[in-house]
Amino acid sequence: MLPFLITALIFLILGSVMLIANRVLAPRRPDPRKYIPYECGVDPSGPGWVPFHVRFYLIALIFLVFDVEVVFLYPWAVIFEELSWFGFVEVTIFVVMLLLAYVYAWSEGALQWE
């Protein structure tokens, strides 16, 4: 665990050193036109935080279900040999139940982007 954290720290240092070097080396020539959000040269019409499609939430919800499923499958994969057929049947039942939900979401059009 320690080497992992130290590597993360080193990457953080790398990023910070580059940021500091940039601060030292870079010029500062303020100009009000530099600070408007970029919209291909046209003045932005309104704030940047625009409403977005509710479908992104749907995808996130289905993702949660499937991610939890995968989390349950991981320990099974590790002790697969010991559980043998018993584990296989158990997991099949578990996945089939989730597949029903998956098929339902599909038929309701949750996976459809027009």
- The residue length of the chain stands at 114
> Residue 5 CB, nearest distance to other proteins (Å)?
9
> How many Å is the Cα radius of gyration of the chain?
25
The CA distance from 25 to 114, in Å, is 48
Amino acid (1-letter code) at residue 33: R
> Residue 97 CB, nearest distance to other proteins (Å)?
13
Reported as half-sphere exposure (CB side, CA atoms, 13 A), residue 90 has a value of 10
Q: Which residues contact other proteins by CB under 8 A?
A: 1-4, 6-8, 10-12, 14-16, 18-19, 21-23, 25-29, 34-40, 44, 47-50, 52, 56, 59-60, 62-63, 66-67, 70, 73-74, 77-81, 84-85, 88, 91-92, 95, 99, 106, 111-114
What's the DSSP call for residue 19? H
> Residue 75 CB, nearest distance to other proteins (Å)?
10
